[in-house]
Structure 1
């Protein structure tokens, strides 16, 4: 499904664009700090849920024409707003893959060290390795 994440700077959307820029700026300030980024994501999810469950539900159209307009907008602009949660399982799989890769690198490095340390320290004259 295509989701249009680009906000068009028109009237009301100019304020939304400003909010988006502030959120992106804060995210960049937190770059490399997974706990701060997690807190930001939790805040955004909480705001999303709060707006959806109160103000948005209360503002849903009560007549057919307004409902049609809303549905047409949803179709044209990229669907229903939804914040995807990172599944713990995929996080653990990613962690496991990285750990496995690190262990393989460590194992290979250790093997190279052992091979190099098993070479004779002195060579007899004319001997080739």
Structure 2
């Protein structure tokens, strides 16, 4: 999960491009500030959940054939949107690595 990712979502929608650029700019402004970055990630997760539950799910097709066609389209265009959480093991491994560095210094 850590590190630089080249998985940038591409869209022709100028509003979404603007949002993407602004979120990336905010993340760069928070660089090195774990609390600020965590707040940003929590906001994105909250927005994801809110949009999914309040707008996306009610907009899904109501017939089996239409739903199947929609799901096929989702898979063809990159799959279901997902915001993964950092695993506790990853966080603990990071803490252990920092502890080892402290011992070496």
Fold match by TM threshold 0.5: yes
C-alpha root-mean-square deviation of aligned residues, in Å?
A: 1.7
| Counterpart for residue 20 of structure 1 | 20
State which structure, 1 or 2, has the greater radius of gyration over its C-alpha atoms: 1
Offset at residue 92 of structure 1 (A): 1.1
Q: Which moved more, 1:84-93 or 1:43-52?
A: 84-93
Asked if residue 63 in structure 1 is aligned to residue 63 in structure 2, the reply is: yes
Alpha-carbon distance, 1:74 to partner: 1.3
Gaps of 5+ in 2: 1-6
Q: What count of residue pairs does the alignment treat as equivalent?
A: 99
For residues 22 and 69 of structure 1, what CA distance do their matches in structure 2 show?
A: 33
Structure 1 residue 28, shift from structure 2 partner: 0.8
After superposition, what is the alpha-carbon deviation per residue over 1:46-72, rounded to whole angstroms, capped at 9, x for unaligned?
A: 001111111111001113443233212
Structure 1 residue ranges, 4+ long, deviating more than 4 angstroms after superposition: none
C-alpha separation between the residues in 1 aligned to 2:66 and 2:15? 24
Q: Judging changes above 3 Å, is the alpha-carbon distance between structure 1 residues 66 and 14 closer, same or farther for their aligned structure 2 residues?
A: farther
* Counterpart position of 1:7: 10
Counterpart in 1 of 2:83?
83
Output the TM-score relative to the length of structure 1.
Answer: 0.68
By relative contact order (CA 8 Å, sep 6+), the higher-ranking structure is 1
Q: Compute the displacement of 1:101 (Å).
A: 3.1
TM-score normalised by length of structure 2 = 0.82
Q: Could you tell me how far apart the structure 2 residues matched to 1:39 and 1:30 are? A: 10
Structure 1: tracts of 5 or more residues without a match: 107-129
